[in-house]
Structure 1
Amino acid sequence: MQLIATHTHSPDHCWAREENEEVAKDWIAGMYDRAEDLGVDLQAAYVTPNEHAFYFVLETEEFDAVTTFLGPSLLTDHEAHIAPVLSFERAEEALLED
């Protein structure tokens, strides 16, 4: 299953703030290894600094692996929206099957 995870935070919880930099550095430094260990394919990761948001494109067989991957501290300091998605090609195939 492919998912888009969107995380937003308040300016007070921004990882660019000096008091949050260490948490940010630790989480970011380990994100690819953590994803691999959990069986999550981290296909893309984006940040929009002015909007205080992170976006992840993920693929996994187990949703629990995604919540573990995104877990503390990302899910502690951010509001999350995690949605399964289909490519347009896959959606078109599904429509043509009917």
Structure 2
Amino acid sequence: MEHSTENCWAREENEEKAGEWIDGMAEKAEEAGVEIHGAYVCPNEHTFYFVLEADSFEGVSTFLGPPLLTDHDAHIAPVVSFGEAERAVR
């Protein structure tokens, strides 16, 4: 997920929103049926990276929903393990 400098959560006017989302991240993930395997930020590039596990795209969208998907452009790529891919083609 990438945001503009204007939407940066490190800006004073966005700190409260950012803090609330970060503090509630684990609870929101649980409610959405999402397991967080990793959550990373590259401050210099205004980019967040998440490694998530979910049974549905809807769960991921709910977890990332406002305010993240409101303030960020996102590329969400569902992936499967090599084993799962191999089983699918056999």
The structure carrying a bigger strand percent of its residues is: 1
Counterparts of 1:90 and 1:45, CA distance in 2 = 25
Match of 2:5 among 8, 11, 16: 11
Distance 1:69 1:35 in 2: 6
Instruction: Give the RMSD, CA atoms, in angstroms.
Output: 1.6
Q: In the TM superposition, what is the alpha-carbon distance from 1:85 to its structure 2 partner?
A: 1.7
User: How many Å apart are 1:55 and its aligned residue?
Assistant: 0.4
- Over the matched positions of the two proteins, sequence identity in percent amounts to 58
Are residue 32 (structure 1) and residue 26 (structure 2) matched?
yes
Taking structure 2 as the reference length, the TM-score comes to: 0.90
Whole-angstrom distance in 1 between the partners of 2:16 and 2:83: 40
Deviation above 3 Å: which 4+ runs of structure 1? none
The reply to whether residue 75 of structure 1 matches residue 64 of structure 2 is no
State the structure with bigger RCO (CA 8 A, min sep 6), 1 or 2.
1
Q: How many residues align?
A: 89
Paired amino acid for 1:23 = K
The code of the aligned residue for 1:69 comes to F
Q: 1:84, 1:48 → 2: CA distance?
A: 21
* Cα offset, 1:90, TM superposition: 2.7
Gaps of 5+ in 2: none
The 2-side partners of 1:75 and 1:9 are apart by 10
TM-score of the superposition, structure 1-length normalised? 0.83
Residue number in structure 2 paired with 1:51 = 45
How far is the alpha carbon of 1:86 from its aligned partner?
Answer: 3.0
Corresponding residue for 2:86? 94
